[in-house]
Structure 1
Amino acid sequence: MRALHRNRLPQIDGTQLLTDAGLETTLIFLEELDLPCFASYPLLGNSDGRQTLKSYFERHLAIAADYGTGFLLEAPTWRASRDWGAQLGHSPDDLARFNKRAIELLAEVRREAASVSPLVISGNIGPRGDGYQPDTAMSADEAQAFHAEQIGWFLDTEADMVSAFTISTVNEGVGIVRAAAEVGMPVVLSYTTETDGRLPDGTPLGEAFQRTDMLTGGAAAYFMVNCAHPDHFRSALESDAAWLRRIWGVRANASRLSHAELDEAEELDPGNPAELGRDYAQLKRILPNLRVYGGCCGTDHRHIEAMADCCCQCQAA
């Protein structure tokens, strides 16, 4: 089987796509699974785990079917890179198999989801370190060399693209974009912000996008923001700034808590799904190219349905 959309992503042509919610927080807090290092990819190692992941995606796909949107399937591979895998006792060969199995699972989901189209498959990449604690020592060249390994594992699969989430420094973002561009894989880069709308290393959000484009020749397909509540970054979206047109997706947190507070939280803060949906509608008015809607920490399928209700009704059948 081959990638269906690698040569032209549907969202580039204006198609609105829903995507999933906070996978790891859903599995840990709502399904009471133990995920060391916040890693969901080990579930791919057995049939029960694969079925858990499949059911999770199917709940979200049902919403896309109801609202007549496409869907972006993100692989459960946010932690499936060399440094995190080593902490879980997995070798690079093990990780290669896990990453490929993740795309195989999503390809199976895509084949069975006849009522949703288009369905885009993305290989999900996370930060080399803790996304809440920026690695300011890593250069762009080091980041490129590190992330090229996982991107390479996705190349010979049905993945249409790769998406990097919770990135906290421009150097790491630049390295990821360069690594994907070097092998011709469409790449989407998502930065996270603190409560002041700046990256965890202090870089203003707009500056991060502009510098990334400048240092990569605009190679990213588009940018996103994730793992922050809309209240945290809305003020950073300067009126009429040209870089706003490069933000095509948002995966926000349900909670208004800071990253430090979320790190210490022992209970899930799901916020208010309806309110978050209205926040997305406001973001849609600010961001002229916003067309990918999903969630991050604390969100589940209820939040995705609220986003669809506020932003995608025009596509409902």
Structure 2
Amino acid sequence: MGILDRLFSSPAPFISDGGMETDLIFHEGAEMPLFASFVLLDSPEGCEMLRRYAVSYFDLAQVASRGFVMGTPTWRANGGWGPKLGLDDAGIRDVNRRAIAFARDLRSAHPWRDHILIEGVLGPAGDGYAPEQLLTPTEAARLHSAQLETFAEEDVDIASAFTITHPGEAIGMVNRARDLGLPFALSFTVETDGRLPTGQDLDCALSEVEAATGGCVRYYGINCAHS
């Protein structure tokens, strides 16, 4: 049984990391333009920050005898934010490849490596907390294709989208991942009233995604409720 199968069959929850960009900025003093953690891959100091962050979770998972879902530093490495950070399509693909290789190297060096799953992380093409544009599924699939195609080519264990604000973008991402044969998880941003930033009820958003994607999302999450 592979690690992904164990994730879905194990009665013991896997551990995941929590808020990479926020953690590195406030605890490590990292400088990340537009919250783009992938820029840390460009320097030895940045790579060391990422290494410490990941290994702290590897160690925690080992002590707890749990599996760990390790997210790549690629939340901003998509077709919406890439151009704002100087990346064209080829640059987006290169950054994502490098991030996956970095994660795999860290995993292979740790004694708990057989229990660590590599998660290709996606973020929204726009603001994950106050969306300025509601994407159609077609627009979303186009903006996220370079990243998703790279995740599929590099055979990550699962791709996961975080801080997604509306179903249109979610549906486009999920359907593109399905076309690529890529396992996919989805997490919506919610406010303290349980609604998305658009005001849509979470239950309605989940039902809309399920209906439009054939129920192929492996699991759902919520994140970043604001007070």
The TM-score range, normalised by the shorter chain, is over 0.9
Q: Deviations over 1:5-58 (max 9, x none)?
A: 5xx442211252111121111111111121110110011122222222111100
Who is 2:195 aligned against? Answer: 198
- Among candidates 67, 71, 87, match of residue 68 of structure 2: 71
Give me the whole-angstrom Cα distance separating, in 2, the residues matched to 1:227 and 1:192. 6
- SS of 2:90's equivalent in the other structure is helix
The number of aligned residues is 225
Who is 1:95 aligned against? Answer: 92
Who is 1:12 aligned against? Answer: 8
Letter matched to residue 167 of structure 2? V
User: Is 1:150 aligned with 2:147?
Assistant: yes
- Among candidates 119, 129, 132, match of residue 129 of structure 2: 132
Give yes or no for contact 1:68–1:116 (8 Å, CA) kept in 2: no
Who is 1:42 aligned against? Answer: 39
Q: Which structure 2 residues correspond to residues 1-317 of structure 1 after superposition, within 5 A?
A: 5=3, 8-14=4-10, 15-115=12-112, 117-228=114-225, 257-258=226-227
Letter matched to residue 50 of structure 1? C
Give yes or no for contact 1:162–1:185 (8 Å, CA) kept in 2: yes
- SS of 1:82's equivalent in the other structure is coil
Q: Deviations over 1:252-293 (max 9, x none)?
A: xxxxx43xxxxxxxxxxxxxxxxxxxxxxxxxxxxxxxxxxx
Report the more deviating stretch, 207-216 or 113-122. Answer: 113-122
Cα distance, 1:146–1:82 mapped onto 2, change above 3 Å: closer
For CA contacts below 8 A with separation 6 or more, give which structure has more relative contact order: 1
Gaps of at least 5 residues in structure 2 are none
- SS of 1:129's equivalent in the other structure is coil
The alpha-carbon deviation at position 115 of structure 1 amounts to 2.9
Give yes or no for contact 2:134–2:169 (8 Å, CA) kept in 1: no
Give yes or no for contact 1:123–1:163 (8 Å, CA) kept in 2: yes
Q: When the two structures are superposed, what TM-score results if normalisation uses the length of structure 2? A: 0.93
Letter matched to residue 16 of structure 1? P
The alpha-carbon deviation at position 136 of structure 1 amounts to 4.8
Cα distance, 1:203–1:136 mapped onto 2, change above 3 Å: farther
Give me the whole-angstrom Cα distance separating, in 1, the residues matched to 2:168 and 2:149. 20
CA RMSD of aligned residues (A): 1.5
Gaps of at least 5 residues in structure 1 are 229-256, 259-317
Runs of 4+ in 1 over 3 A off after TM superposition: none
Give me the whole-angstrom Cα distance separating, in 1, the residues matched to 2:32 and 2:115. 31
Give yes or no for contact 1:40–1:79 (8 Å, CA) kept in 2: yes
Q: When the two structures are superposed, what TM-score results if normalisation uses the length of structure 1? A: 0.68
Q: Deviations over 1:56-113 (max 9, x none)?
A: 1001111111111010010000001122121122222222111011111111111112
- SS of 2:120's equivalent in the other structure is strand
- Percent identity of paired positions between Structure 1 and Structure 2: 36
